[in-house]
Structure 1
Amino acid sequence: MAVSSGEDKVDRERRLASRAAGEQGLLFDGGVRMPSRLSDEVGFRGPAACAAAGITYRQLDYWARTKLVEPSVRPAHGSGSQRLYGFRDILVLKVVKRLLDTGVSLQQIRSAVSHLRDRGVEHLAQITLMSDGVSVYECTSPDEVVDLLQGGQGVFGIALGRVWQEVEGSLAALPAESAAPGSAADELSRRRERKTG
């Protein structure tokens, strides 16, 4: 993942463009907070994750098996177990889908996802991913976006704060499950608990 510095000389045009980009408030919105309903203790099953991210179950399963995006709340533990995807997982799934739709290679997407995993949830909302279709760049300020655009590299951007809001809105209408021990909601898990307990 390449990161533009944004610390180069700032001329008058860049300051004006930067100010205009900051006024839009869409790319860099630091006021996004994790809702309590979407904490690390709450997860969403595969079909709900697919609906929120706009992907197929086949994609979800393949990306989990190839470790591109694994469920962080509860991984699959053999036949009949249900994966539970957290809010952050679904956010990354939606970003992967958008990058694939624009023609970015899976290798570059893996690199971008690895980089996003290292970020705290609070910081994700302040990142804009820019891509020229070949490479993916992280921008955390309007100056960095302007640098990329002036270099002729940036072709499109994905504002993670905006994706965050879209995923949050989608998940509000979908059923969630607690990942706390003993709170498994699926029938097979309850039967296993009764049989072993």
Structure 2
Amino acid sequence: MATVFTSRQAIQITGVTQRQLAYWRKIGLITPSQQTPGGHSRYTFPDLIALKTAKRLIDGGVSLQKLRSSITALTRTLPHLKQPLTELSLLATGDVILVFHEGAVFETLTGQEWILPIAQFQREVEQKQNARRPTAASGQGELFPETNSA
């Protein structure tokens, strides 16, 4: 059986306030994985990761509304994920949340890719270099002719 944590322990470990924990549970942002027969919340380690991630995003400038919308969008975009805050690497840049997933970086709400895949770009550059190599001696067809001057 996995280790579970009380609400008090979750607060101490993650740094969220009791008020945040109660409100996030109430609105369904982050719900505890377990309940005792007496109705007390019990948090698993993945729940703690989700709480800490949410706190860091909010501390980084993301509004609670944006965070909720982002989680909803991620669940729609990546339906195989059960807990996006736990299973994905996220980064806040102001009020924008970026997701690092399978070699791509995209914005949570729009799905717009932010960084072009480096490996793919490197292959494209190499292909262009290889395609133009026979004429490189004449100075024509060079990829970056201004950098090849002696």
* Greater share of strand: 2
Over the aligned positions, Cα root-mean-square deviation in angstroms equals 3.0
Match of 1:137 in 2: 98
For 2:21 and 2:50, how far apart are their aligned partners in 1? 11
Q: 2:114 corresponds to which letter in structure 1?
A: L
Question: Structure 2: how far apart are the matches of 1:111 and 1:134?
Answer: 12
Rounded to whole Å, the distance in 2 between the matches of 1:67 and 1:143 is 28
Among 22, 25, 32, which residue is 1:64 paired with?
25
Unpaired runs of 5+ residues, structure 1, are: 1-36, 151-197
More RCO (CA 8 Å, sep 6+): 1
Please give the residue correspondences for 1:85-100 in structure 2 after superposition, counting only pairs within 5 Å.
85-100=43-58
After TM superposition, give the deviation of residue 140 of structure 1 in Å.
Answer: 2.3
Structure 2: any 5+ residue segments left out of the alignment? 107-112, 117-150
1:75-107 CA-partner distances (Å, limit 9, x unpaired): 7x7xx6311111111111101100110110112
Report % sequence identity: 30
1:74 matched to which residue of 2? 35
**Which aligned pairs between 1:40-189 and structure 2 lie closer than 5 A?**
42-74=3-35, 81-114=39-72, 115=74, 119=81, 124=86, 127-140=88-101, 144=105, 148=114
CA distance in 1: counterparts of 2:68 and 2:115, whole angstroms: 24
TM-score (norm 1): 0.44
TM-score, reference length from structure 2: 0.56
Structure having the higher Rg:
2
When residues 143 and 109 of structure 1 are mapped into structure 2, their CA distance, relative to the original with a 3 A threshold, is: closer
Q: What one-letter code is carried by the residue in structure 1 that aligns with 2:56?
A: R
**Could you report, residue by residue, the CA deviation over 1:144-188 in whole angstroms, capped at 9, with x for unpaired residues?**
38x7367xxxxxxxxxxxxxxxxxxxxxxxxxxxxxxxxxxxxxx
